[in-house]
Structure 1
């Protein structure tokens, strides 16, 4: 009946053979959008309408179980996507009563790079309206890309602006939105630009090994034990949400959560202390070149989080030689290791990098 809200999630891992165009242009990503009406909360962008155009042609396919897809000749796919895209664009403008000159932001998502670039040039929008498709920084993230581009646009758009999202996939689909006054007071937890700036270089050999495309010699150390499913269930909030415990009387934060307070000795008088979005400072650290790790060496640090908690935690996305006491870090949910076919995930800490800091550097 259209009532209530819905969470729409898209995620993808793009894999291409070494040296292929898909490897160079692909990216990994995830995006999530909450869809609902004004009755459920502030609406940042109102859906105005759209249109779609389907086309029956095969330009990309993948055999079930294969790690990568295959492509037909590029010009063939480009011509078919351009025809579908222009038809959907014209129909969407007609359905909403808008003209191309009234569109303030436009982004095009799709796996076919030439078609994406070509359609952008044929939209007829004003100079400066066509947004970055993030292909040169993030790469094309497949199913996640439309939501990623829309999120990046909302990060910088002002109120009362028309946004066009065009998706090229098995044809073309156009979504038209108008931003609302609520966007002016909205502050994202972390902008797409800041997330892009938070990336770190990855050696090509390590990338191939992590993708499973290059067999490598494993560390000559005892492998980690299989993770305990029962232990994980007993601490779901801690393992998956990084939620500690806070003494209601003294305010002391305990990471991991405890029943007995370290200050005052209060028992079972705690409240949740979410820490997943809390930054911290490295107080001391050590570099362990002997421990088992899929990405040696292991850099382990004691981090004081800004909410008052302290935790020994592994660092990631940094070079061991660049770590220093006083570094600012933030939690990130990562794979710890794999044993007996079970992937074990938990929280690590990575350097705080923002778009502004990257520009200043």
Structure 2
């Protein structure tokens, strides 16, 4: 196995209070809130956010991309290819999906950590269920990304992978057939009975391989959708109670396939140098991964970690809006013609701009052209352009308007014109903000979103969103 070179996390801006569910349905809603992906977000767009955070400053990496989710936007098409394009990876880099179940996250992490070349594991999920169900109430949406490889002086290892162990057993605990929106579950007592010995075997085997005892684990992450089994194993693991990482259930909910990644990122956010981190994931068996942090972790982790996103500024969402976004409630759409689906040939020709947001700098006058073209808009020089990516470049709102007539699934549309630091002007929508939040001088960054879906084709492009506190990029 190799070492962890970097990592990133993404928690959507919107929150749904469980008390609002309770008020609407007249049933127990539980405590706290759950994170909700916006109407224009899916697991791919959230994966791009997490992957961008993990790859910040990592030039020429990775050479492998493994994408795990239980809610893929496409079947018979590689979702990881969209991430590959949006992250601006080299054409030779392999991108594959590991989709269908929450356990796929462990497969992505293991494949990336065992690759002989730098590899990125991206885990993302959107969890929902029928109105009033425990999955709807306890679920959450999030994404995380982890870059593994051999450390160098420029890219040192933040943690060393010590051991991995797994157990697998076929049993009926959670399932969903193709086409169904919600999962089915057996009763929790059955899951507790089955999962405990599986988790104990995987954890014990990994500790033995790493020559560690439970008391030497400084941070224990236990994840899985069988919440009672997860809690029972954490209590019986032999690890000190204060070392068990908070599952964030009251703050963002359980994001399924993304939960092991989000909680592992949270553990790394608070870990010190030379500490042992254990991840145990319960899903159709159990898997355990052990890591030991290095002194480089403290200086290279993200300034906006999991806690900063979970507790930072966010937008409150009504339960009716949540149901509409999830397709559980059909509401009268805007009385505007729906846009046509994107066509394959022009999409491919403009993929550098559309997906990776590549602009062009004029070699003659230095003007930044957005979108890129053959002729410079400033000096009219022809074919004297150098490509550059503005994906990670902050910008400032130069002007804006609130458009109440334009087609959007969540009216009104806030349209902004932004000026990028270093040059370049772009007109787009403003996401994760109310009309009252828009103002001239607002600092924003780009965010990858799904504009619309027509005839089964997802149209991805970039929007602007306000930068969060202490955030220099997305």
User: 1:193–1:355: 8 Å Cα contact kept in structure 2?
Assistant: no
User: 2:397–2:419: 8 Å Cα contact kept in structure 1?
Assistant: yes
Q: CA offset at residue 117 of structure 1?
A: 2.3
Task: Name the CA shift for 1:247/1:158 in 2 (closer, same or farther; >3 Å).
Answer: farther
Q: CA offset at residue 249 of structure 1?
A: 4.4
Q: CA offset at residue 5 of structure 1?
A: 3.1
Tell me what 2:30 maps to: none
Tell me what 2:259 maps to: 145
Alpha-carbon separation, structure 2, partners of 1:235 and 1:297: 28
Please state if 1:135 is matched with 2:135: no
Any residues of structure 2 matched to 1:102-141 within 5 Å, and which? 102-141=216-255
Alpha-carbon separation, structure 1, partners of 2:263 and 2:470: 17
Q: 1:270-310 CA distances to partner (integer Å, 9 max, x unpaired)?
A: 22221222222212111111111111101101111223221
Alpha-carbon separation, structure 1, partners of 2:252 and 2:243: 20
Any residues of structure 2 matched to 1:235-254 within 5 Å, and which? 235-254=350-369
**Structure 1 vs Structure 2 CA RMSD:** 2.4
Of 169, 177, 181, the residue aligned with 1:67 is 181
Q: CA offset at residue 173 of structure 1?
A: 1.4
User: 1:275–1:307: 8 Å Cα contact kept in structure 2?
Assistant: no
Q: 1:214-256 CA distances to partner (integer Å, 9 max, x unpaired)?
A: 1111111121123232221111111001121122344322221
Alpha-carbon separation, structure 2, partners of 1:180 and 1:50: 19
Q: 1:67-99 CA distances to partner (integer Å, 9 max, x unpaired)?
A: 111111122212322332233223322222111
User: 2:304–2:470: 8 Å Cα contact kept in structure 1?
Assistant: no
TM, length-normalised to structure 2:
0.69
Any residues of structure 2 matched to 1:128-277 within 5 Å, and which? 128-188=242-302, 191-196=305-310, 197=312, 199-277=314-392
Give secondary structure in 2 for the equivalent of 1:115: helix
- 202-211 or 2-11: which moved more? 2-11
Give secondary structure in 2 for the equivalent of 1:241: coil
Which runs of 5 or more structure 1 residues have no equivalent in the other structure?
357-361
Q: CA offset at residue 127 of structure 1?
A: 4.8
Task: Name the CA shift for 1:355/1:148 in 2 (closer, same or farther; >3 Å).
Answer: farther
**Number of aligned positions between the proteins:** 356
Q: Which has the higher contact order (CA 8 A, sep 6+)?
A: 2
Q: 1:298-346 CA distances to partner (integer Å, 9 max, x unpaired)?
A: 1101111223221111011111123222222211111212333322121
Alpha-carbon separation, structure 2, partners of 1:172 and 1:111: 12
Please state if 1:14 is matched with 2:130: no
Alpha-carbon separation, structure 1, partners of 2:382 and 2:258: 45
Tell me what 2:393 maps to: 278
Tell me what 1:100 maps to: 214
Task: Name the CA shift for 1:261/1:344 in 2 (closer, same or farther; >3 Å).
Answer: same
Give secondary structure in 1 for the equivalent of 2:296: helix
Task: Name the CA shift for 1:236/1:194 in 2 (closer, same or farther; >3 Å).
Answer: farther
Task: Name the CA shift for 1:253/1:51 in 2 (closer, same or farther; >3 Å).
Answer: same
Tell me what 2:141 maps to: 28
User: 2:363–2:385: 8 Å Cα contact kept in structure 1?
Assistant: yes
Which runs of 5 or more structure 2 residues have no equivalent in the other structure?
1-113
Alpha-carbon separation, structure 2, partners of 1:130 and 1:250: 57
Tell me what 1:352 maps to: 467
Q: CA offset at residue 259 of structure 1?
A: 2.4
- 300-309 or 235-244: which moved more? 300-309
User: 1:194–1:353: 8 Å Cα contact kept in structure 2?
Assistant: no
Any residues of structure 2 matched to 1:79-94 within 5 Å, and which? 79-94=193-208
- 316-325 or 25-34: which moved more? 25-34
User: 1:195–1:354: 8 Å Cα contact kept in structure 2?
Assistant: no
Alpha-carbon separation, structure 2, partners of 1:217 and 1:3: 52
Alpha-carbon separation, structure 2, partners of 1:313 and 1:334: 11
Tell me what 2:428 maps to: 313
Tell me what 2:104 maps to: none
